[in-house]
Amino acid sequence: MSQPRDASPHASPPVANVMPAVHYLNADRGVWSWLTTIDHKRIGIMYFVSVLFAFLLGGIFAMLLRIEHLTPEPTIMGANTYNRMFTLHGVVMIFMFMIPAIPGIFGNFLLPLMLGAKDVAFPKLNLLSLYLYWAGATLASVGMVMGGTDTGWTFYAPYSTSTPTTLFPVLLGVFIMGFSSIVTGLNFIVTIHTLRAPGMGWMRIPLFVWAIYATSIIQVLATPVIGLTVLLVGIEKVGGFGLFDATRGGDPVLFQHMFWFYSHPAVYIMVLPAMGVMSEVIGAFSRKNIFGYKAIAYSSLGIAFVGFFAWGHHMFVSGQSVLDNGAFAAISMLVGVFTAIKVFNWVATLYRGSIAVKTPMLYACGFLFFLVFGGMTGIAVATVSLDVHWHDTYFVVAHFHFIMVGAVIMAFLAAMHYWFPKMFGRNYNEGWGMVAASFIILGFNATFIPQFLVGNAGMPRRYFMYPERFTSLNVASTAGSSLLAFGFVIIVIYLIYALVRGEVAGPNPWGSRGYEWNTPSPPPKHNFDVTPVIDRDAHSYQEPGEEVEHVVI
Amino acid sequence: MSSSEAHAIAGDQPHAAHDPHLAHHFDTIEKQDHAVRLGMWLFLGTEVLLFAGLFLGYTVYRHFYHQTFHEASRTLDLALGALNTVVLISSSFTVAMAFYFVKKGKNGACATMLVLTVLCALTFLVVKTFEYRHKFLEGALPGKFYHFEEVKGQGANLFYTVYFLATGLHAFHVIVGMSILIWVLARVLKGHFSPTYYIPVELGGLYWHLVDLVWIFLFPLLYLI
Amino acid sequence: MANQPVVPSNAPSHAPSHAEEHASHGPGRYFVIWFVLLGFTGLTVWTGRMDLGAANIGIALAIATIKETLVVLFFMHLSDSHGANRLVFLVSVLFLVVLLVGVFGDLLSRAEISLPSGAPAFDSPESSAPAPR
């Protein structure tokens, strides 16, 4: 489909765009039409709203924790409350936000558009995945209202099987949300296999789709294990029989094996879609073909595959054998190779590209920085001899927040800004976007770099109080988290404003070559009037007759 | 766009003579069938990983308490276990035959095979009930309820914990599979299927085979060694 | 970029596609597989209650694997199914094995102090002699 005009960020100001009269948001009216929709775009929007509520909840827990850590003594809460607070922060952030966020929102919204399809393979299952998410999230929230649990999001036995706190609704909520994850992954895999438009071979699918494909494999195969594990914990707590009670000959380390067999690949469920977003954003805002398409595509599969072999690095000090420790350490470092491949390819894409300094690109830069540092500290903690010192300290906390917040949430924000015009047909205010991005990137550094330092100095995690000498770093971290929170508040404000009063975006305000930009913004309910035929490579900026500037390898 | 382009893809054209089972977002029924089968195999993959945890539990505690597990497995009724194995294998055969018949258009024979499969499933559950009842009476119960005098020693209660969890989860799947097959049977009797449309029978059968597969491994591990 | 749709066959095809063609064979093969499975069941019951020491587990698992292969290939038609389906099944089984191997490797090589009492301990340089009670 031809562009109405050259819509690159460097073109002269375009004439005013017109919002399509009918699109997926207004095609059917009424709450019931939303609750019974099988339109993947509407399902994506509903995930959007739900997931943002979860982020708000998890964020409030985080702020309360940081406020508590302003002083070494009790500040605003007692010890038991603190324990529940960090548990629920983890449970909400991981199961209600991080796991569903990018696949549920952007995967759902974009996959059919990127593949040239009218919908995902199983639209009703898609709606079911949303309902399962709501059911699980509600159940877990009920558990929180009933007082919540204090086991940590890792639910380690034997404490989890004997804690007097309200654990069962939380476990059941996690179990049901797991099903949502499985259904989503299954749907995406089948969609990618069977609903590609004519002409779209595997080596022409967008890199975001490759990332979602790899993520979905993990969702489908790893999640059942944690489903069973939390079920066993629930049965042991309520029924008094199970596999983890040492007084009856059970082995608590077995719980850890089973738990981490899912929970390690789970972090790749969180990070792989983020990496996919990055491939899209970096290509679009360098106006250049992605360097090393095949390398990025295969390394996504590589991360997903090797990620299944590395779970024991969470268990270095649990009593696991030295042999397994060594094996898991070595395998974990292998994942770093695949990640590095991606980082090099992204940087090579930026090189000599026509960089547009827009909000998504700012977040992309933040992502690269935080992924590299977070990833390198990951290799560091994967070294057994070092992890013996760092395990259960704030060093590990800082490491995974660098990846989960620094990398994944930067990517989430980049995705939100990049695809906002596509989803809602309006542009947000670029100036405020950059202001918020600055607060977030700077605030993030201020929050988590002190945590590396204080963790290395020996401050344990999940401890209600800390020795006095760690006070200044903790105060610094809390101050940073306020900046971070402030940045998020700014984003909410200008995005809501953009929804109602934003400038109409037109089909492709970024001039991106992603396939999804070939539809109007917002897209019509049925995506395409006629199924498109794909006759060029994914996100290709090659013009006919152009020199080899935009080389694809 | 020209009208010649507009009607190119099956499903775009209104009221085309296309398969009534074809969903609007699939081009052809072959693609749709492939998608549905792939989806089912993915689901079976999740079931394999679901039982993986229980097989792991068995492996771990068998390794720790080799002797006790060996003694405990002798207290399970081998005849009933073997009978259940034969029943499930035969039910796999009958459901495979049901699929064969529906593809040939022999709906009556298909229905008969499905009825036999469901009867096998019921037999399995009845036998399991007898076995469970026996264990209850003996006191060979999981975890804190264990008071079975015949097998003592560290880890004895764990054998029965694994036994009840694994066979319990499996029995749950037998019930689910049986329900699915009853639903498929109802549709066969109503004449929904033909040599050109039989995929629900195929998928129901695939799920049932998985139930059999799990038992093929559970049986020797729990009853024999 | 022109948007000429390529036209796949508009006529709904009722014949199974090549990849999913369950070969039009007779029902005989199902009977054969059934009897073979029953035979292996008998074999595993017979060998299972013999005392063959460590070989018992190996034989039982080998027979179970053979039975599983037969069911998957022939009753579930994986032998004439799309490659994608086969890959899904194989990868699932692979990760099951990875889970078992990873944990079992841990069990076999743990220090005695990390094991439940009564559990066999191997290769622990600290312990003088394993002391099962």
The string of pLDDT tens digits covering residues A211-240 is 999 999 999 999 999 999 999 999 999 888
**According to DSSP H, which parts of A310-456 are helical?**
322-350, 359-381, 384-390, 394-401, 410-424, 430-456
CA dihedral B51, B54, B56, B58 (to 10 degrees): -140
Kindly report the nearest CA distance between residue A519 and chain C, in angstroms.
Answer: 13
B79 at C interface, C-beta within 8 A: no
pLDDT value of position A15: 57
- Nearest by CB to B9, from A182, A195, A531: name it: A531
In the predicted model, what is the mean pLDDT of residues A309-325?
94
pLDDT in tens, B103-150: 999 999 999 999 999 999 999 999 999 999 999 888 888 877 877 777
Structure tokens that stand for A60 in this block? 């409030």
Report the chain A residue with the minimal C-alpha distance to residue C109.
A321
Q: Which residues contact C40 (CB under 8 A, 6 or more apart)?
A: C63, C66, C67
Q: Do C118 and B154 touch (CB under 8 A)?
A: yes
In the predicted model, what is the mean pLDDT of residues A405-423?
96
- Nearest by CB to C1, from A1, A246, A319: name it: A1
Q: Please provide residue A460's backbone torsions phi and psi, each rounded to the nearest 5 degrees.
A: -75, 155
**Most confident range, picked from A140-144, A533-537, B136-140:** A140-144
Lowest mean pLDDT among A521-530, B31-40, C87-96: A521-530
Q: Please provide residue A480's backbone torsions phi and psi, each rounded to the nearest 5 degrees.
A: -60, -40
A297 at B interface, C-beta within 8 A: no
**Most confident range, picked from A130-144, A534-548, C18-32:** A130-144
First to last CA, chain B: 70
Q: Which band of pLDDT confidence, cut at 50, 70 and 90, is reported for residue B13?
A: very low
pLDDT value of position C3: 42
Contact B150, B206 (CB under 8 A): no
The pLDDT mean for chain A works out to 93
**% of chain A beyond a pLDDT of 90:** 85
pLDDT value of position B100: 94
Three-state SS for A393?
A: strand
In the predicted model, what is the mean pLDDT of residues A130-141?
97
Q: Which has the higher per-residue pLDDT, B9 or A452?
A: A452
Residues 151-180 of B with CB under 8 A from C: 153-155
Please give the helix or strand (H or E) that residue A25 lies within, else none: none
Q: Which band of pLDDT confidence, cut at 50, 70 and 90, is reported for residue C120?
A: confident
Q: Which has the higher per-residue pLDDT, B7 or A477?
A: A477
Which residues of A touch chain C, with CB atoms under 8 Å apart?
1-2, 193, 198-199, 217, 221-222, 225, 246, 249-251, 253-254, 257, 261, 308-309, 311-312, 319-324, 327-328, 530-533, 535-536
Task: Indicate the DSSP class of residue A29.
Answer: -
The string of DSSP letters for chain C reads ----------SPP-SPPSTT------THHHHHHHHHHHHHHHHHHHHHTS--TTHHHHHHHHHHHHHHHHIIIIIS-GGGS-HHHHHHHHHHHHHHHHHHHHHHHHHHH--GGGSPTTS---S-SS-SS----
Contact B187, B193 (CB under 8 A): yes
Query: Which chain C residues touch B63 with a CB distance below 8 Å?
Result: 104, 107-108, 119-120
| C-alpha of B223 from chain center | 20
C124 at B interface, C-beta within 8 A: no
pLDDT in tens, A235-274: 999 888 889 988 888 899 999 999 999 999 999 999 999 9
pLDDT value of position C111: 86
Q: Please provide residue A70's backbone torsions phi and psi, each rounded to the nearest 5 degrees.
A: -65, -30
Q: Do C37 and B89 touch (CB under 8 A)?
A: yes
Report the chain A residue with the minimal C-alpha distance to residue B6.
A530
Lowest mean pLDDT among A57-71, A259-273, A532-546: A532-546
In angstroms, the CA C22 to CA C79 distance is: 9
- Nearest by CB to C98, from A246, A254, A309: name it: A309
Please give the helix or strand (H or E) that residue A427 lies within, else none: strand A426-427
In angstroms, the CA B68 to CA C118 distance is: 11
Three-state SS for A426?
A: strand
Q: Which band of pLDDT confidence, cut at 50, 70 and 90, is reported for residue A12?
A: low
- Nearest by CB to B45, from A118, A220, A531: name it: A220
| C-alpha of C75 from chain center | 15
Beta bridge partners of B197: B194
The pLDDT mean for chain C works out to 78
pLDDT value of position A16: 65
In the predicted model, what is the mean pLDDT of residues A98-114?
97
In the predicted model, what is the mean pLDDT of residues A377-393?
96
In angstroms, the CA A552 to CA A535 distance is: 15
In angstroms, the CA A158 to CA B220 distance is: 30
Structure tokens that stand for A269 in this block? 């469920």
B48 at C interface, C-beta within 8 A: yes
CB atoms closer than 10 angstroms to residue C123: 13
pLDDT value of position B35: 96
pLDDT in tens, C17-76: 444 445 567 789 999 999 999 999 999 999 988 887 888 889 999 999 999 999 999 999
Give residue B63's region: left, alpha or beta (phi > 0; psi -120 to 50). alpha
Q: Which has the higher per-residue pLDDT, A241 or B201?
A: B201
pLDDT value of position B154: 81
In angstroms, the CA A203 to CA C59 distance is: 45
pLDDT value of position C26: 79
Kindly report the nearest CA distance between residue C105 and chain A, in angstroms.
Answer: 7
A124 at B interface, C-beta within 8 A: no
Q: Which residues contact A413 (CB under 8 A, 6 or more apart)?
A: A363, A437, A440, A491
Structure tokens that stand for A436 in this block? 């918020």
Lowest mean pLDDT among B37-51, B75-89, B120-134, B136-150: B136-150
pLDDT value of position A539: 84
- pTM equals 0.91
Please give the helix or strand (H or E) that residue A189 lies within, else none: helix A168-194
Three-state SS for A257?
A: helix
In the predicted model, what is the mean pLDDT of residues B73-97?
95
In the predicted model, what is the mean pLDDT of residues A355-371?
96
**Most confident range, picked from A82-91, A541-550, C112-121:** A82-91
- A426-427 vs A503-504, strand pairing mode: antiparallel
Q: Which band of pLDDT confidence, cut at 50, 70 and 90, is reported for residue A344?
A: very high
Which residues of C touch chain A, with CB atoms under 8 Å apart?
1-6, 8, 84, 91-92, 95, 98-99, 102-103, 105-111, 113-114, 116, 118
Q: Do A533 and C6 touch (CB under 8 A)?
A: yes
Neighbours, chain B (3 or more CB pairs < 8 A):
A, C
| Site of tokens 């799947």 | B173
Q: Would the pLDDT of B5 be above 70?
A: no
